C-alpha cells in the first residue's frame, strides 16, 4: 500500500504557517513536520517554528548562545513561530517559560538528515550490511550537537514518532522525517542521552494509532514486564580476545575438538534469593566450571530480548538486544571476552524462523503485515502461535542477515545455532492439505527461506571466517552443511537428530531386548558423514515430561548410572562434535525447569560425581587425542571392528587421524561381563585402556583389563582377548608394537 505524500507548507507574506498546517502539527496528524517546523525561509530571511506544549513564552537562540528572536504563540497548545535574526540556516535552541518555571529545548527540526543517499540505495536494494550502524538509536554528534539519532523502517505508516519520558510519551512532539523512497523514518533528537526508554508511536495507513512499538533494532531493552527499548551507548568494553579469535579464524572447525555445554542462563545457577545471576556473576562461576569440566564451548539458549520466561528465549521481540535479565549489553560483552581469554567459545541460539505476536513487537509493525506474510497460510505458525518472517521481502532478509553479522561483530560470538530450520525449509511444515501455499514450482520447499539461509551463511562466513553456524534441522534435506556454491545451505554443521533419537530409544530398552534393536545403533553410521554433524543431547530431551537422560536409561539405579556413563563414552567416541545440556553432565534427576536452578547438591553423592568425572575425563581425551576429533566429519577416520554381535549387544569401532595413535571404542550394553572376548584390532602390540566407564572411580564395579591389552596376530588376523565390563564403554589406544 502506498502512503499519502505530505504537501510542503508555504508561508504567507508575513512568514506565518498556513492555519491547516498549524492545526495538523498540534493534532499530530501532519505527515511532514519538517516542512513546517524548525528553520524555514521567509522572503530574504528566516522564521523559526516549534511545538512546545505547556510553554507560554519561547525565545530562540543559536547553539553558540546568541539570541535569535522571541517567538509568538500561534496556538495555545504550544505552537510558536516568529522571524529570527540569523544569516544562514542552522540549529536552534529554545528557552521556554511558563508560570511554573523555565527550561531549554534544542529543536530537532532545525537539524538536517543523518542518513544519506547511499544508505537509501543499499537499504532499498536490500544489500546494506551495516544496518545496525544506521537503524535503531545511536548516540552521535550532529551539526554541533550531541543527541540520539533514531531510524526505523515503516513504509506504510502515515506518521511515526519517537516517544518516551523525555517528551511525556506525546507522539505529536518528535514526529520523524519520512525518507519516502525507502520507507525509513529518521529523527535526530539533540541533548538526549543513554539510558532513556523509548518506543515508536505509529499511525497506520488507515489513520489508526497502533499500540506503541519497541524498536526492531534496539540495542538495549527494559527488564520485563516493561517492554520499551532503551537508548544505549556503543559497547565500551575493551576486548582482549585476539589470541582466541585468531586461532579460530585460521582453524578448520571440522577438524578441531568441539564439545559444547548447552546452557539456559537463567536457570544454570541462581542467587540464594532465587534471582538471576548477572553476566559478571555468571562469568565468575560458569566459565571456570566449563574449563574444569573440559568443554570447549558454551551454547546459550537465546539471550536476545524476549517477554516471556517460559519461552526460554525462542520467542524474541528484540533480536539486537541482549536480554536485560542479566544486566546491560556491556556485561554480556565482558562475559564473552572472559570466556575467550580462558579459551572457551560462545555460541548463541538464534531464531530467524518466527517471532511472537506481542503487540509491542514486529507483528503488523506499521499497521500492515510488514515483517510477516499477510496470508496466515504463509505467515502464521500453528505450532507456536507465532508469526513467520517473510523471506521473500528483501528488507526482512536484510534485517535478519544484519542481525547475524551484528552478534559476530559487536559481541565476538563464535557461532550461531540456528533454531527450527526444518520449519523454515518446508511450506507445509505442521500443516494439513489446504493449509499451505505451494512454491512457484508447485512444490513444498520454501525457496525464499532457502535463499535467505544461503545468503546469511555466505555473508557470515565471508565477513567473519572464525564464526560457525549450526543448523537444528531434523529432516533429510540434502547438503545442509555443504557450501552454497556446491548447492548446499552453507551451514558449518548440522545437529544429528537421528543419533539422539535412535540411541536414546535403544538405551531405554531393557538389556535383554536390545539385541532386537541392534540396528538402532548401527544405522546411524550409514549417514554419519553425509553432513558435518553435531551430536546433540539437548534441552529438548529433558523437558515436557520427557524426564532426564538418567531416567531414560533402563534398569535399576545402578544400571541407569552405568548405562549413562557407557552412553557418554560411546558418544564421545562416535564421529561428530558433542553437545550436552546442562545438568546432564552430573546426571540431574529432576526434569529441567526454567523456573529453578539445577540440583547442584547432587554432586555431593558418589554416583552423580562419578558421572561428572566421566564427562570431564572424556572431554580431556576427546581434546587431547586427534583420533577422537580430527576426522569427526570424514569417513576415513572411522572403521567398524564389531558391527554384528547383536546377541551380546556389543559394538566396537576404530577412530584414527593423522598425528595421533588409533583408538578402539568398545561398548557392552548388557549387565553381563564378557570374559575372554575377542576384538579385532588393526595392529599387533600393546593397547592402553585410556578410559573404562566401569572403573570404581566413576561408580562402577571395577572390572577391567589392568589398564592394558596385548594384540597379536595368532589365529589369523590381529586381535586381542579381553574382558568387557558390564554396561560399559572402554577405549583402547595403541601405544607400542
Q: Which residues are catalytic?
A: 419, 472
Which residues contact residue 624 at a Cβ distance below 8 angstroms, ignoring those fewer than 6 apart?
none
How far is residue 253's CA from residue 414's CA, in Å, rounded to a whole number? Answer: 11
Q: Find how far residue 320's CA is from the centre of its chain.
A: 9
How far is residue 31's CA from residue 2's CA, in Å, rounded to a whole number? Answer: 14
Residue among 1, 89, 80, 100 at smallest CA distance from 37: 80
Residue among 527, 406, 518 at smallest CA distance from 476: 527
Q: How many Cβ atoms from other residues are within 10 Å of residue 206's Cβ?
A: 10
- Please report, to the nearest 10 degrees, the dihedral formed by the alpha carbons of residues 652, 654, 655, 661 taken in order: 130
Q: Are strands 533-537 and 45-51 parallel, antiparallel or unpaired?
A: unpaired
SS3 (DSSP) at 567: helix
* CA distance between the termini of the chain: 78
CB-count exposure of residue 41 (10 Å: 0-12, 13-18, 19+): exposed
> What are all long-range contacts of 270-278, with beta carbons under 8 Å and residues at least 24 apart?
270/596, 270/597, 274/596, 276/325, 276/326, 277/326, 278/326, 278/327, 278/331
Q: Do 622 and 578 touch, CB atoms closer than 8 A?
A: yes
CB-count exposure of residue 243 (10 Å: 0-12, 13-18, 19+): exposed
Look at the chain and count its residues.
737
Q: Do 268 and 282 touch, CB atoms closer than 8 A?
A: yes
Q: How many Cβ atoms from other residues are within 10 Å of residue 50's Cβ?
A: 25
Give the 3-state secondary structure of 420-475: CHHHHHECCCCCCCCCCCCCCCCCCECHHHHHHHHHHHHHHHHHCCCCEEEECCCC
Residue 271, sorted as left (phi over 0), alpha (psi -120 to 50) or beta, turns out to be beta
How far is residue 147's CA from residue 189's CA, in Å, rounded to a whole number? Answer: 6
Q: Do 289 and 187 touch, CB atoms closer than 8 A?
A: no
How far is residue 275's CA from residue 640's CA, in Å, rounded to a whole number? Answer: 50
Distances (CA, A) of 154 to 79, 161, 179, 379: 27, 11, 10, 18
Give the 3-state secondary structure of 59-128: EEEECCCCEEEEEEEEECCCEEEEEECCCCCCCEEEEEEECCEEEEEECHHHCCCCCCHHHHHHHHHCCC
Secondary structure element (H or E) that encloses residue 45, with its range: strand 45-51
What is the residue-wise DSSP string for 462-530? HH-TT-EEEE---S--TTTTS-GGGTS---SEEE-HHHHHHHHHHHTS-GGGGGGGTHHHHGGGGSTTS
Q: Supply the Cα-derived Rg of the chain in whole angstroms.
A: 31
Amino acid at each position: 500500500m502506498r502512503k499519502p505524500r505530505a504537501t510542503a507548507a508555504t508561508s504567507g507574506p508575513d512568514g506565518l504557517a498556513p492555519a491547516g498546517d498549524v492545526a495538523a502539527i498540534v493534532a499530530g496528524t501532519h505527515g511532514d513536520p519538517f516542512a513546517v517546523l524548525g528553520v524555514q525561509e521567509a522572503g530574504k530571511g528566516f522564521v523559526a517554528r516549534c511545538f512546545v506544549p505547556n510553554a507560554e513564552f519561547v525565545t530562540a537562540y543559536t547553539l553558540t548562545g546568541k539570541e535569535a528572536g522571541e517567538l509568538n504563540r500561534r496556538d495555545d497548545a504550544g505552537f510558536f513561530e516568529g522571524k529570527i535574526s540569523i544569516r544562514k540556516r542552522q540549529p536552534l535552541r529554545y528557552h521556554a517559560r511558563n508560570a511554573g518555571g523555565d527550561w531549554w529545548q534544542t529543536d530537532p527540526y532545525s537539524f538536517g538528515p543523518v542518513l544519506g543517499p547511499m544508505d537509501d540505495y543499499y537499504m532499498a536494494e536490500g544489500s546494506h550490511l551495516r544496518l545496525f550502524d544506521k537503524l535503531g538509536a545511536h548516540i552521535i554528534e550532529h551539526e554541533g550537537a550531541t543527541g540520539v539519532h533514531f531510524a526505523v523502517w515503516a513504509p506504510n505508516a502515515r506518521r511515526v514518532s519517537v516517544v518516551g519520558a523525555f517528551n511525556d510519551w506525546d507522539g505529536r512532539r518528535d514526529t520523524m522525517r519520512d525518507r519516502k523512497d525507502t520507507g525509513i523514518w529518521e529523527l535526530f533528537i539533540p541533548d538526549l542521552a543513554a539510558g532513556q526508554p523509548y518506543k515508536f508511536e505509529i499511525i497506520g495507513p488507515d489513520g489508526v494509532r497502533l499500540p506503541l512499538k519497541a524498536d526492531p533494532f534496539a540495542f538495549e531493552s527494559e527488564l520485563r514486564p516493561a517492554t520499551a527499548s532503551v537508548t544505549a551507548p556503543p559497547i565500551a568494553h575493551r576486548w582482549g580476545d585476539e589470541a582466541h579469535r585468531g586461532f579460530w579464524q585460521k582453524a578448520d572447525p571440522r577438524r578441531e575438538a568441539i564439545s559444547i555445554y548447552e546452557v539456559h542462563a537463567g536457570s544454570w545457577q541462581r542467587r540464594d534469593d532465587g534471582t538471576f545471576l548477572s553476566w559478571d556473576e555468571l562469568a565468575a562461576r560458569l566459565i571456570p566450571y566449563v574449563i574444569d569440566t573440559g568443554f570447549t564451548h558454551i551454547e546459550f539458549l537465546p539471550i536476545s530480548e524476549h517477554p516471556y520466561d517460559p519461552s526460554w528465549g525462542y520467542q524474541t521481540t528484540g533480536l539486537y538486544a541482549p536480554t536485560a535479565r542479566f544486566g546491560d549489553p556491556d556485561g554480556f560483552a565482558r562475559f564473552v571476552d572472559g570466556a575467550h581469554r580462558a579459551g572457551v567459545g560462545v555460541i548463541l541460539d538464534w531464531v530467524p524462523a518466527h517471532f511472537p505476536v506481542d503487540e509491542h513487537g514486529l507483528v503488523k509493525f506499521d499497521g500492515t503485515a510488514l515483517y510477516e506474510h499477510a496470508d496466515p497460510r504463509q505467515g502464521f505458525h500453528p505450532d507456536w502461535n507465532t508469526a513467520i518472517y517473510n523471506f521473500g521481502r528483501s528488507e526482512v532478509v536484510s534485517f535478519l542477515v544484519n542481525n547475524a553479522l551484528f552478534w559476530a561483530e559487536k559481541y565476538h560470538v563464535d557461532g550461531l545455532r540456528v533454531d527450527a530450520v526444518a520449519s523454515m525449509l518446508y511450506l507445509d511444515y505442521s500443516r494439513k492439505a489446504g493449509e499451505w501455499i505451494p512454491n512457484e514450482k508447485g512444490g513444498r520447499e520454501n525457496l525464499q527461506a532457502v535463499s535467505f539461509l544461503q545468503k546469511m551463511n555466505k555473508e557470515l562466513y565471508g565477513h567473519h571466517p572464525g564464526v560457525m553456524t549450526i543448523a537444528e534441522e531434523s529432516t533429510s534435506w540434502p547438503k545442509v552443511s555443504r557450501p552454497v556454491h556446491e548447492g548446499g545451505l552453507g551451514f558449518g554443521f548440522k545437529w544429528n537428530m537421528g543419533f539422539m533419537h535412535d540411541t536414546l530409544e535403544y538405551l531405554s530398552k531393557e538389556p535383554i531386548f536390545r539385541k532386537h534393536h541392534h540396528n538402532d545403533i548401527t544405522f546411524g553410521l550409514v549417514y554419519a558423514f553425509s553432513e558435518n554433524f553435531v551430536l546433540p543431547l539437548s534441552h529438548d530431551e529433558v523437558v515436557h515430561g520427557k524426564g532426564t537422560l538418567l531416567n531414560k536409561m533402563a534398569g535399576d539405579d545402578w544400571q541407569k548410572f552405568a548405562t549413562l556413563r557407557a552412553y557418554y563414552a560411546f558418544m564421545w567416541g562416535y564421529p561428530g562434535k558433542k553437545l550436552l545440556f546442562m545438568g546432564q553432565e552430573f546426571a540431574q534427576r529432576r526434569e529441567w525447569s526454567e523456573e529453578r536452578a539445577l540440583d547442584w547438591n547432587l554432586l555431593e553423592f558418589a554416583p552423580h560425581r562419578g558421572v561428572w568425572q566421566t564427562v570431564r575425563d572424556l572431554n580431556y581425551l576427546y581434546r587431547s587425542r586427534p583420533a577422537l576429533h580430527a576426522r569427526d566429519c570424514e569417513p576415513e577416520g572411522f572403521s567398524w571392528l564389531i558391527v554384528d554381535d547383536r546377541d551380546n549387544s556389543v559394538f566396537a569401532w576404530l577412530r584414527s587421524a593423522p598425528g595421533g595413535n588409533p583408538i578402539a571404542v568398545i561398548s557392552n550394553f548388557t549387565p553381563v561381563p564378557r570374559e575372554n572376548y575377542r576384538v579385532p584390532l588393526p595392529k599387533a602390540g600393546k593397547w592402553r585402556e585410556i578410559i573404562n566407564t566401569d572403573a570404581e572411580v566413576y561408580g562402577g564395579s571395577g572390572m577391567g583389563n589392568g589398564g592394558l591389552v596385548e594384540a597379536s596376530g595368532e589365529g589369523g588376523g590381529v586381535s586381542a582377548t579381553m574382558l568387557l565390563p558390564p554396561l560399559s564403554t572402554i577405549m583402547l589406544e595403541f601405544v607400542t608394537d
